[in-house]
Structures are given as C-alpha cells and as structure tokens.
A and B are shown apart, each in its own frame.
Chain A
Amino acid sequence: MQNIRRRKPSESEPSKPPETNLPDSDDDTKTTQKGPKRESRKEESKKRKENKNKWSCVDNCCWLIGVICSIWWGLLFLYHCLPSSFPQYVTEAITGPLPDPPGEKLLKEGLTAAHPVVFVPGIVTGGLELWEGHQCADALFRKRLWGGTFGEVYKRPSCWVEHMSLDNETGLDPPGIRIRPVSGLVAADYFAPGYFVWAVLIANLARIGYEEKNMYMAAYDWRLSYQNTEVRDRSLSRIKSNIELMVATNGGKKAVVVPHSMGVLYFLHFMKWVEAPAPMGGGGGSDWCARHLKAVMSIGGPFLGVPKAVPGLLSAEAKDVAVARAIAPGVLDSELFRLQTLQYVMKMTRTWDSTMSMIPRGGETIWGGLDWAPEEGYDCSKKKQRNNNTLSASHEESGSYSSQRKNVFYGRMISFGKDVAEASPSEIKRINFRDAVKGSNIANGTCRDVWTEYHDMGVQGIKAVAEYKVYTAGDILDLLHFVAPKMMARGDAHFSYGIAGNLDDPKYENYKYWSNPLETKLPNAPELEIFSLYGVGISTERAYVYRLSPSMDCNIPFQIDIAADEGDEDSCLKDGVFLVNGDETVPVLSTGFMCARGWRGKTRFNPFGIRTYVREYDHAPPSNLLEGRGTQSGAHVDIMGNFALIEDVMRVAAGATGNDLGGDRVVGAPPVVSRCLAENRFFASLMLKPQGARVIATLGQSIWFSLF
C-alpha cells in the first residue's frame, strides 16, 4: 500500500492533464526567446524535469522487473493451464509413441498386488533430518539436512558439516546433535527435487494396487555402521516388526525385499541379525527368513565392495572430482576463503562408518593380485567385450579374448605412478610401509581444525606409503590401517573384509561378519530366491594411479594422477583411473559374482541351496533430453527407472518366480557403442542438466554422492 501511495505523487506529474503539460513543454523550447520573464516558472519546470530524470532510472528498473514478473507469471499460469501430460505429447510427437510404463502394461495383463514389498535404500540416497542441533542450526528442527534442496549447504556450510559428522570415537551422535533418518516412502523417493530414486518404481507398483499398507521403505541412517542403526535407532527391529506386520495383514503372503546399492549389504546383515539370538540379534528364530521372505531382489548390489570407496577414503575424491580438478586446477585447493573443501569433506566422511562397508572384500582372491585379475582381457576398445562370461555359469570361459595390445593389471588397485601400473610384476621394487615410523607432525597449528589423520603421519609416513608403489585389494586394507588407524579401528569392530576359511567357526557369530557374503551363510530358507539385478555397459572405476600431491602443508598428501592417460580413445586408463564394465559405480565383478558363482547351487556360502538369478540390463542412454534419465539406463541409480527392471520387480511382487521371469538374463552381445561416446555423453549431461545432485557432485560438496 505504501508503495502505491509513494508512487502517486510522482505519477501525478506525467499524468497531469495536458493543459498544464502543454505550456510546460512550450516553456522548455521557448524560454530563450521569452527571456527572464518567466524565470520562476522555468526553474520550476527544470526541477520537475530533474525529478523525472531522477526517478527514471529507478523507475526503469522497477518497470523492467514488473515486466519480467508479469511475463513470468503469465508463462507460469499458461504452464499450469496446460494439461500435465503435455510434455508427453511433445515427446510422442517427436519420437513416436512411448512404450507403456510397466505398471500400465502389467495392469492390462491382469496382475495385481500380491506380496508386500520392502524397499531398502542405499547409501547417500536416504534423507536425513535434524532432531536436535547446536545454536547455528536453530529453526531447522525436522528439516532435511541431507536430501531435498541442500539449501543449508550453501547458507551455513560449516554448521552443516558439523551436524552431518558423527563422533569420531564412537561412530554415533556427537553430543548435542541428533540427526535422524526421514521415515516413510518420502525418505528416498526423490533424492533432490526432480531427481528420482524410488519414485518411478513406487508409482508403477501403485498402478497394480500397492499402497502404504503393503509397501514399506526401510529407511535407516546410512552414515552409521549397520549394527549401530539398531543400537541407536532400532532400525533393524523396526524392519523386522514391519515385515511381520505386513505379512500378517496381507493374508500370510511373504515379503519381496528390494534393496538397492548399500541397502543390499544392509539387508544381508539384517537376514543374519534377525535369526541370531538376542541381545546381539533379533531373536526371530532360525526359520524367520523362510517364513517371511519370498525373494530378495538386489539392485546394483556391491556384494564385494566398490573400488570407488578406496580413493574416497584415501583422498576424498573420485573420478568426477579428479576431472573437476583437471579442468580447473586450484579451485579445490584454493586457500581463499579458507575453503579446503576436500579436507572438510574428508573429515566428515571419515566419521561415517558405513563407508567402510564398501571397501573391496575378499582380497586378492577376488580382486586380483599383482599380475592377475578376473577382468583380465577386458577390452576397453569400441567393441564392447562381454567380460562377464568368466563369471556366468552359462558361458563357461568361452569368451574370445580379442587381441590385446597391452595387458591391464586391474589387480593393482592403487599404483603410485603410471609406469608402476604398467610394469611387469618382477620390475616393481616395493619397500614395506607397514613398519615405517610415522614422522614428526608436519602440520602447523592452522591446519588443526581440519581433522584428518594425515597430520599424524608425518613426511616419512607419507613417503613410505608412496614407496610401496603398488597396492592390491589385500594391501589396501593395510594401507588404510596405516593412514587412518583410528577410523579403521572403529570400522574393524563392525565390518570384516576377508574370506572365511571355515564358516562353522563360532567367531563368525559376531555381527561384524554379517554383511560380508564371503563370511556368512545364507539363511535356511530353501524357497527364498535371491536376484541380482544390475546394469552393465558403462565403464566403471576399478583401479587408480596415484601421485603425491604437490603442496604438502595442509593438504591431503595423495591425489589421483590425472595426467596418467593413454591419450587413446580405446584405452582403459582415463584420467588416472582404470575402467572396466559395470554400472558406473559398481563393477560387474562385485554385483554379479555372488549370484552367478558364490551362491549358485549348494555351496558353503549357501548351504541350503537358495536359488539365485542374475539379471543384467544393458545400458542405453536416453535418446533425447525429454526422456530425462532414460527408461533403459543401466547406471547405478538411474537403473531404478529402467522399465525392464521395474517389470521384473513387479512380476515377482505379483507372484512370479525366477523361472517365470526366464531365469538368468545375461547381456551377451551388447550393442556396439563407443565407450568414449558414452562417457562424453555423461559429461555432456553433467553440464547440460544441472540437477541438484550432479551439481553438488561436481562442486565437490559431496563427493560421496558418486558412491551410491
């Protein structure tokens, strides 16, 4: 109101009736002739003119803003008036009719909701909200700190980091801070606005009759170690109680569990926990799984760990960060504004126990030694090689190893220097770092507030690490113990990475083994089915070339050596990272091995012969921008929108067995797509679609996003 009132006097001037205006303008032109007679009037008119000039600038701005606002509102109004299916019409007009979404299709086939469905989200995708915080987080009560818009990251970054960190001694809440998982389907349906995770699957399930009473999102705090989620939040008990409830209220139909990413390990832990006796376990009895579970459909499950976790823990970077560093050197390291982003991120992520559950398991037996790796012979050239035939039972070692130009030693997960990565095993001289004395503290006081254990290592320790040259999956554990003893001490209480010699050893009753498929038996539930659904056809990080970082003072001492590049489109080495086939995050080896081999038939890991199925989905990038993240994607998170995968999940939920689906589905001959093209597309999409999460990933605010 005031504005209008203020406007009025000024407005009255130009809108004065013309009678007064006419002589005025007359004056302006004729003053020279009529002379001083009308000096007073002239001054007056001058003033008026000045006035006009004065407000014309502000006025113009306001006018401009007004126009923009009005147009914006107009457009918004039009947009809302349009039917909501308008984008679909456009897409169909361009690309022809879209296929029916699976929900629609199966509804037509007459499928209806039968078995209750439980979702188990993975790392990073679940929302976290504040329940109690320090002063700086006032008024954020029950607001999301993780997931959603991430508005607080920009508004008060240090406060945010402080609240997201856990206590680095206990791995639980720091005093005075309570961050808790968001519960319900909203916990992980969308990660950021517009960036779906479970939403597409949920919507399709709803089409055939699912709703809250037979669908449950087992949200948990993904920062904690699995057993700690039970200790602190009773998450495992809640899952148990909810599954029991849903089975009881849906006519005794057993539940279909759909875990994704780290949720797969979490649910593995749950299956052991629930049958173990209280107080460590859930006390469900030895037939709980047989009574309550119909199928476990793991999506992109990192059964054997993720190589990406290693650089994440070691230097808080992954491929994306390394690339960002290559494009704009210095941004991430700039001391301006005391950013030290990576250091802060590292400090935060190292308090999260769950990241340690992703460290590659099974040591050299699984991931390869100095001169050997299961993926050996994987051809990174334009012709995609079926690398999984070493794993799949149906295709026994029949792959044609095409002419190899150079052998890639994937088993060397970290090598210091490109030459070392490629040298033959006999040429490498390694100096054992394990006994190296950690030198005096190089850090001066200013670095102290960024807590990473590197400060305790000293120059000699760092040198010793680099001197060892090559680390295999087994060595990496020792390396992590060396560089981050406190963190690993915490993690060792909750996770184990080995292979069991004798599974009947009573020590394996400890919960730290429960999430490692190589150190546990599957439950006694012969009718249970385990599916491993994952994408293939995207190059995935597998091993890294490292170097010492140039500046030593407050920085993380190691970096991925982005200079290490074959410069060749066909090479497996890109920006210091060796790539293999996978779903962009998890290599096929980790997702597929257990279901294809480790558990197939009656093995010691699967003593009761639970049937397992491998279902692969070849990656096809979205054909145009309107398709969003694609309906045939194989990428780690985007696969949740893959129609074929959704259809499989829905059929099983509606009662089908693995054999009804057609048993294994192994991608035999993937279409000839240039890996490099695919990769370029990825980076292009990274630039084109600044959808919350991606942007954050590139900005280095949450490196771990890429670690789903």
Chain B
Amino acid sequence: MGSILRFRKLCYAKRLNIQSYESKKFDKKNDGIVSSSEAVMEELKKRKLRKQPQGWRCIDSCCWAIGHLCTAWWLLLFFYHILPTNLPGLQVPESPGQKLRREGQTALHPVVLVPGIVTGGLELWEGRPCAEGLFRKRLWGGSFAEIFKRPICWLEHLSLDNETGLDPPGIRIRAVPGLVAADYFAPGYFVWAILIENLAKIGYEEKNMYMAAYDWRLSFQNAEIRDKSLSRLKSKIELMYETNGYKKVVVVPHSMGVIYFLHFLKWVESPPPFGGGGGPGWCAKHIKAVMNIGPTFLGVPKTVSNILSSEAKDVAFLRSMAPGVFDSEILRLQTLEHVMRVFRTWDSVISLLPKGGETIWGNLDWSPEDHCGCDFANIKASGTNSSDFKTNNSDAKCSFQLKERVKYGRIISFGKIAAELPSSQLPTLSFKEFLLKKKANSFCGEVWTEYDELSRESIREVADNKAYTAETLLNLIRHLAPKMMQRAEDHFSHGIANDLDDPKYAHYKYWSNPLETKLPNAPDMEIYCLYGVGIPTERSYIYKISPSDRCKSIPYRIDGSADGTHNGCLKNGVYFVDGDESVPVISAGFMCAKAWRGKTRFNPSGMATFNREYHHKPPSSLLEGRGLESGAHVDIMGNVGLIEDVLRVAAGATGEELGGDRIHSDVVRMSDRINLRLVSLLVTIGDVISLLVIISGAGEQGRVCHPLTNGSGSRHHLAMTSNAAVARC
C-alpha cells in the first residue's frame, strides 16, 4: 500500500512541477524509492506534456469521491448504530401492545395468521441447472436479488405448469414456513411484523401463534393436494387448542387469505377424501373468531386488468409517462408479456375475479356505488358507532348526488364513449358467434400467452362488444384465455347460488365463494370484516386496442388518455370508488354488513358479524414510515386501531365489547341497494306472501335498526316464519 501511496504522491508532485523542474531533478529526490517506476513516470510525464493530465485526474477524483462517500457512509452507519433506539427527545407513541399490557390483558386465545397473495415467501427446493446454489433460498420475498441476476431463470421457476396448475417437472418451489414467511415481505417492508410484535408484548410466542403459510400461487385445493397445507393448518389449530387450555383459536386472515380460510372452513368439516373429515362441529369447537383484514370476499376488479393485459393503474400511468419503455424490443425485454405468461399459470389469481356477477357488481346501467361522488378524501373521518347508527347517516356521507351516474357496472369498456353511453345504444354481440371464428394464426414464438392463438379479427370483435359487466366479463376471459379458465374453473366458481342445499355445492370449487357456501354451524363464532376506507380504489377500466400490430404483444391495454370530469372518478382510464386501494368497500364489507348479518341463507346458524372500518390517514411525517393510521391494503397491518382490535379479541373480548360496528363508508347503503335474496329458497316456494313480508321486514330491519341492537328479535321472527313455511311445504 505504501508504494501505491507514494506513487500517487509522485504523480501529484509531478503535475505541480512539470514546468519548473527538470525531470532528473525530481527523480533524484525519490531515487531510492521509485527507481523502478521511473520509466512509467517518464511515460506519464510525456503524456501529460502532450495533453493535459485529464485521464489520470479523472480516475483519481473518482477514487477520491468513492472513498469519501464510503467513509461518510460508514460514519453515518456508525452513528446510527451508536444512537439509542429511542431518542429521548422524540416522543414515541405507545404501541397498542404496551397499552393493553398496562391494562392487564394477556395472551388467552391462540392466534392463527393467514397471509394473503404475494406477501408470503417462496423458496426453492429443486430447480433447473440455472438455479444452482439457490437451494432453500427465497425466490419470492426478501431481496428479490435473483430477478436482476437471472430474470429468465427466475420467471421459469416461478411459473407453474399451465396444464395442471402444479409444479412443472423438475422444479419444486415451496412456501417458506413459520412466522418468517410473511413478517417482512422485503427487508424493511413489514406485513405481519408489527402485529406479531404487539401480540408478543401481551405474551404471545410460537406456542400460541401460528403463521399458516401456503403456496399462494396454487388453487386452494391444490395447496392441500401438493403440500397438505390445509391438513397442517387443521392439525396446528387442534394442537394449539389442546395445549393452551382448550381455548378456541382466533384466526386473522389477510387479503386472499380470507377466502383461503373460507375454503378451509368448508374443507375441514367435509368428509374425506376431498375434505378434512373434522366433522360438522369442528369450527364451533375450535374457532372463536375470524378477523378478516382487507377481505376480498367478492373479488377484486384489479384482477381483471391484470389478467387481460397484466397491467394495473401504476403500469398504465407509467406507460403514459414514458411511452415505449415497456414495448421496447431492445434487449428483448417484453416485460409485460413475460409477466403475463407467468401470471396466467397461477390459479389463485382466478379466485380474485369479481364474484356474484351483475347482482353484486352492477349491470350496464346500474351499480351499487353509483349514487355517490368520488371525493373520498372529504368523507368525514368521524366514526359512527353502532349505537347511534342511522340510515340518514349514509346520505350525509355522500358528499353530493351526481346528476349523471358513473356506470361502474361496466367493468371493462372499450373506449370512453362506450363507458358512458346508455345501454340501449350499446352493440350487443353474443360470444358464440366469434367463438366459432376463432382460429390460430402462426405461432409467435416462445412467449406463451393465449393471445397468440387469437386472430386479429376476433381481437377486434371483442373490442366491438364495447362494454362488459362482471358477468359477461367472465365470458370474455374464457374466450381470450380458454386454457387458463378451464384449468382454474375446476377450482373456483364466481356465481351466486340459488339453492344452497343443492348437492353440487358440496364440490370444493364452491368453497371459497361466500355466495355459494353456507357458513359452518357455529353460532358462537364471530366474523369480523376489518378494512381500510378513504382511498380511491380501482373499480372499472376503459380499454383500447394497443396500437402496435406486432405479434407477441398484448393486444389490449388501459386507455391512459381517458380522463374524466366525473369529479375525479375517472383517472388515466380507471374509474375509482371508495376502498383500501386494492379492494373496493363492496367486496370487503358486503358479506359482513348484509349477506351474513343475522340469520340468512348464507349464515344459517346466525353467527355474529361486525364491520370495523379504519379511515385512511396518510403518515404525517417521514419518520412515521408507512403510517400508524393507514387504511391501505397492506399498510393497514400497521394501523394501531386495527392492531388494538385484534389484540383485544385475542385476549378474550367479544365483538360487542369492542363496540360493535365501526363504519365510516357508505357500505350499508350500498349493500341495501344490492338485491340479493337472503332467505332460503324453500320459503319462496312455500308461501309467496310470507316471503314478501320477510323480505320487506328483513330489508327494513337491515336499514332501519341495527341487528345488534334489535337483531335478536328479528332473527327470531325470521326463524319462526321460515320454519312455518318449511312445515307447510
């Protein structure tokens, strides 16, 4: 090192003395030291004389700058580590865990955490040669370093087989087990970590807390077939129930985990081989409460745009900012196409398509959300308690009534005009016509999306159909991606059951759809819907045919130029409603607010349901990170209000002790606008008149009085009448 330094010094000295010294003079000084580098010096000097010593100086200053940066960085790091974790000046708000601990709450019921889609880590157990050295390393979650190092290899390993929806031969990717699976998604980006930490403060640890990690790419039943995930979950719940003094379990699923757990509830009571064979009383015996966070009960409209063109709001926005980046053929990127190919092999995605068709999501002219404006930020943050909850409130929450209603029901419309036209003027084209015309053109190469098999005409004809509702949308996707839908529809269903007692509903493909299953017979169990509100959430899209005619490209894309005047409802080709940024309120709240409220045909044992909404407040300062009162889909896991609710229930509180419902949004009114039959079909057959009475009665009660305050009476009444009806039948 010394000699390097000296060498460098020389160079500097040299530069200063170029003019004044004879070269010999200079060299004499350092004779002994640098005789060997004399020749180099000569050379250098000559070069410097000829042209200015720019090159040397440049490298030099680069090194200098790097050195400086490194040192500064290390110093900062050092100081950061030396600093106490709690600065005395900074007032750290008391965490909910500490607060409850001070109140004397301790761990009582075991807690099961069920992560959602995307947030769970996946690791490699067996791979192709290109993934050498990655055994038991995370391919999903963590630092995602492999994406940049070997993107093709990474995509290949994360895909599933597009025939079976299971592992491709020679590749085994498995879910990371344990709490580490989803405590942090990436370093510093918490998912469950804060909730876990707060639970630990009141005494939770591994023996009474379990993360039910599963491979979220698979369909739910396949997770059992391949990994035995459902069996493991069952065994873990039974174990924790037994080893914690026979205290029932509190389950906390998040996002897609909610419908995964719904599937589990049916699975565990069904007989083998398809079910877990736990018997009809299993849920009543083992589960105290299900606290769904950001539930996706009725699907997520975002999924549609993901499946159609593997883009969402963010991508569309990016594209409008920098057109051409995604489409550039340079480096053969085709990012979106590759992403789409991988995405379409994941069955679980299909489970997130909107469920319930036009009844829930609205038809060409009508939608449950269309009576309100889109000014979510101005919705008052003041919570309403169940006690003083009245119908009038929901009117007050609508900032104003719109003259022309947004047609949210048209989830996909081709062109802005189609999105706004009255339905009578829309062209209607049945799918059967162009299903016949479908033919495969020349195979476009390695990128497998089923678009390659569609002819140009049929692509255009799809666009000519102009507007799609939640129901016709399924046909559209079946048409555009027949293989994917064929695979996935063995596992998922998106309809509404007419007669829940129909034996066909014993099939597992209906288990994750709340509109086609009954809740288990567990009257003491409680179901919570905890979700954020106050953030604009994607609801429907304006599409266009993508301009480039190349093969291999995705033929449709969101029309980023469609910006509306609907008071901000339409932005960059996307219509927004109230929600938690990913899931609209209707999907998150409807089941708890209406369809399961009281004794309905979906909830025959009448278990109690609670809606708890958390109004979004962006973090006030940078120090707060992702915010203590966020309502966003994932960030809500750090919301102190939500954490406190979960902790209280885990420590033994019931929903009524929490304060019952806590509603900010318009969910009750929206739910009332949805015309879904909530009583058993037998009743209608039996007695039309009594049906009318019941429906109008139930409707009134749902609107006027809260089932919690007045519910027992009405429930009783309902049961009485339906019983009578059955008897008459």
List A residues at the B interface (Cβ < 8 Å): 3-4, 7, 11, 14-15, 18, 22, 25-26, 28-29, 52, 56, 59-67, 69-70, 80, 83-85, 131-132, 138-139, 141-142, 178, 180-181, 183-186, 189, 202-203, 206-207, 211-213, 233-234, 237-238, 241-242, 244-245, 248-249
Pick the residue among A132, A207, A241 that contacts B239 (CB under 8 A).
A241
Distance of A237 Cα from B8 Cα, bound (Å): 68
- Among listed B17-25, B510-518, B613-621, interface-contacting one: B17-25
Distance of A238 Cα from B244 Cα, bound (Å): 12
A252 CB, min distance to chain B CBs, angstroms: 13
Q: List chain A residues, Cβ under 8 A from B70.
A: 65-66, 69
Q: List chain A residues, Cβ under 8 A from B149.
A: 80
Q: Contact: A206 with B64, CB < 8 Å?
A: no
Q: Which of A65, A84, A244 has the most CB atoms of chain B within a 10 A radius of its CB?
A: A65
Q: Contact: A7 with B68, CB < 8 Å?
A: yes
B8-33 vs A, CB cutoff 8 Å, 1 = contact: the mask equals 11001001111110000000000000
B161 within 8 A of A: no
Q: Identify 5 residue pairs between A and B in the complex whose beta-carbon atoms are under 8 Å apart, listed by A's number.
A: A4-B65, A26-B19, A66-B66, A184-B178, A185-B136
Q: Contact: A206 with B1, CB < 8 Å?
A: no
A479 CB, min distance to chain B CBs, angstroms: 37
Q: List chain A residues, Cβ under 8 A from B135.
A: 203, 206
Distance of A83 Cα from B150 Cα, bound (Å): 12
Distance of A140 Cα from B32 Cα, bound (Å): 56
If A25-B16, A26-B20 touch, does A60 touch B9 (CB 8 Å cutoff)? yes
Q: List chain A residues, Cβ under 8 A from B322.
A: none
Q: Contact: B132 with A83, CB < 8 Å?
A: yes
- For the complex of A and B, the 9 pairs showing the least CB-CB separation, nearest first, are A66-B67, A84-B133, A66-B63, A62-B67, A65-B67, A66-B66, A241-B239, A245-B235, A234-B243
Q: Contact: A141 with B200, CB < 8 Å?
A: yes
Q: List chain B residues, Cβ under 8 A from A26.
A: 19-20
Q: List chain A residues, Cβ under 8 A from B236.
A: 241
Distance of A66 Cα from B60 Cα, bound (Å): 9
- B48's nearest neighbour on chain A, judged by CB, is A18
- B175's nearest neighbour on chain A, judged by CB, is A212
If A28-B20, A180-B205, A211-B125 touch, does A62 touch B64 (CB 8 Å cutoff)? yes
B69 within 8 A of A: yes
Q: Contact: B177 with A3, CB < 8 Å?
A: no
B464 CB, min distance to chain A CBs, angstroms: 49
Contact residues of B between 33 and 53, Cβ < 8 Å to A: 52
Q: Contact: B66 with A70, CB < 8 Å?
A: yes
B22 CB, min distance to chain A CBs, angstroms: 11
- Among listed B224-232, B258-266, B493-501, interface-contacting one: B224-232
Q: Contact: B86 with A212, CB < 8 Å?
A: no
- B230's nearest neighbour on chain A, judged by CB, is A249
Contact residues of B between 241 and 257, Cβ < 8 Å to A: 242-243
B179-206 vs A, CB cutoff 8 Å, 1 = contact: the mask equals 1100100000000000011001100011
Q: List chain A residues, Cβ under 8 A from B69.
A: 3
Pick the residue among A22, A65, A249 that contacts B228 (CB under 8 A).
A249
Distance of A93 Cα from B180 Cα, bound (Å): 40
Q: Contact: B228 with A213, CB < 8 Å?
A: yes
Q: Contact: B67 with A63, CB < 8 Å?
A: yes
Q: Contact: B61 with A7, CB < 8 Å?
A: yes
If A26-B19, A59-B64, A141-B197 touch, does A183 touch B132 (CB 8 Å cutoff)? no
B440 within 8 A of A: no
B657 CB, min distance to chain A CBs, angstroms: 26
B417 within 8 A of A: no
B233 CB, min distance to chain A CBs, angstroms: 10
- B19's nearest neighbour on chain A, judged by CB, is A25
If A65-B70, A66-B63, A131-B200 touch, does A14 touch B57 (CB 8 Å cutoff)? yes
Distance of A67 Cα from B1 Cα, bound (Å): 11
B97 CB, min distance to chain A CBs, angstroms: 11
Given A142-B197, A212-B174, A234-B243, list of 8 further CB < 8 A pairs?
A: A4-B65, A62-B71, A142-B183, A180-B205, A203-B135, A206-B135, A237-B239, A249-B231
Q: How many B residues face the partner with a CB closer than 8 A?
A: 61
Q: Contact: B5 with A178, CB < 8 Å?
A: no
List B residues at the A interface (Cβ < 8 Å): 1, 4-5, 8-9, 12, 15-20, 52, 57, 60-72, 85-86, 125-126, 132-133, 135-136, 149, 172, 174-175, 177-180, 183, 196-197, 200-201, 205-207, 227-228, 231-232, 235-236, 238-239, 242-243
If A67-B4, A178-B205, A183-B178 touch, does A22 touch B126 (CB 8 Å cutoff)? no
Pick the residue among B15, B72, B125 that contacts A14 (CB under 8 A).
B15
Distance of A7 Cα from B196 Cα, bound (Å): 46
Q: List chain A residues, Cβ under 8 A from B65.
A: 3-4, 7, 66
If A63-B60, A65-B67, A66-B66 touch, does A211 touch B172 (CB 8 Å cutoff)? yes
Distance of A298 Cα from B196 Cα, bound (Å): 36
Q: Which of B15, B64, B126 has the most CB atoms of chain A within a 10 A radius of its CB?
A: B64
Q: List chain B residues, Cβ under 8 A from A244.
A: 235
Distance of A211 Cα from B135 Cα, bound (Å): 11
A625 CB, min distance to chain B CBs, angstroms: 20
Pick the residue among A25, A132, A141, A183 that contacts B17 (CB under 8 A).
A25
- A65's nearest neighbour on chain B, judged by CB, is B67
- B201's nearest neighbour on chain A, judged by CB, is A132
If A64-B5, A85-B132, A237-B243 touch, does A29 touch B207 (CB 8 Å cutoff)? no
Distance of A233 Cα from B207 Cα, bound (Å): 6
B201 CB, min distance to chain A CBs, angstroms: 8
Q: List chain A residues, Cβ under 8 A from B180.
A: 184, 186
Distance of A421 Cα from B18 Cα, bound (Å): 81
Q: Contact: B232 with A245, CB < 8 Å?
A: yes
B685 CB, min distance to chain A CBs, angstroms: 43
Q: List chain A residues, Cβ under 8 A from B242.
A: 237
If A63-B8, A65-B70, A84-B133 touch, does A139 touch B20 (CB 8 Å cutoff)? no
A398 CB, min distance to chain B CBs, angstroms: 47
Q: List chain B residues, Cβ under 8 A from A52.
A: 12, 16
- B145's nearest neighbour on chain A, judged by CB, is A80
B56 CB, min distance to chain A CBs, angstroms: 11
B271 CB, min distance to chain A CBs, angstroms: 15
- B12's nearest neighbour on chain A, judged by CB, is A56
Q: List chain A residues, Cβ under 8 A from B197.
A: 141-142
If A83-B132, A238-B239 touch, does A69 touch B178 (CB 8 Å cutoff)? no
Distance of A69 Cα from B68 Cα, bound (Å): 11
Q: Contact: B62 with A212, CB < 8 Å?
A: no
Q: Contact: B67 with A61, CB < 8 Å?
A: yes
Q: List chain B residues, Cβ under 8 A from A3.
A: 65, 68-69, 72
- A84's nearest neighbour on chain B, judged by CB, is B133
Q: Contact: A11 with B61, CB < 8 Å?
A: yes
- B63's nearest neighbour on chain A, judged by CB, is A66
Q: List chain A residues, Cβ under 8 A from B60.
A: 63
Q: Contact: A15 with B67, CB < 8 Å?
A: no
Distance of A307 Cα from B479 Cα, bound (Å): 75
Q: List chain A residues, Cβ under 8 A from B196.
A: 142
Q: List chain A residues, Cβ under 8 A from B19.
A: 22, 25-26
Q: List chain A residues, Cβ under 8 A from B231.
A: 245, 248-249
Q: List chain B residues, Cβ under 8 A from A56.
A: 9, 12
Q: List chain B residues, Cβ under 8 A from A202.
A: 136
B212 CB, min distance to chain A CBs, angstroms: 13
B254 CB, min distance to chain A CBs, angstroms: 19
A275 CB, min distance to chain B CBs, angstroms: 17
Q: List chain B residues, Cβ under 8 A from A238.
A: 207, 239, 243
Distance of A185 Cα from B174 Cα, bound (Å): 13
Q: Contact: B63 with A183, CB < 8 Å?
A: no
- B213's nearest neighbour on chain A, judged by CB, is A212
Q: List chain B residues, Cβ under 8 A from A11.
A: 61
- A67's nearest neighbour on chain B, judged by CB, is B63
If A141-B200, A206-B126 touch, does A234 touch B66 (CB 8 Å cutoff)? no
Q: List chain A residues, Cβ under 8 A from B9.
A: 56, 60
Q: List chain A residues, Cβ under 8 A from B5.
A: 60, 64
If A238-B239, A241-B238, A241-B239 touch, does A62 touch B57 (CB 8 Å cutoff)? no
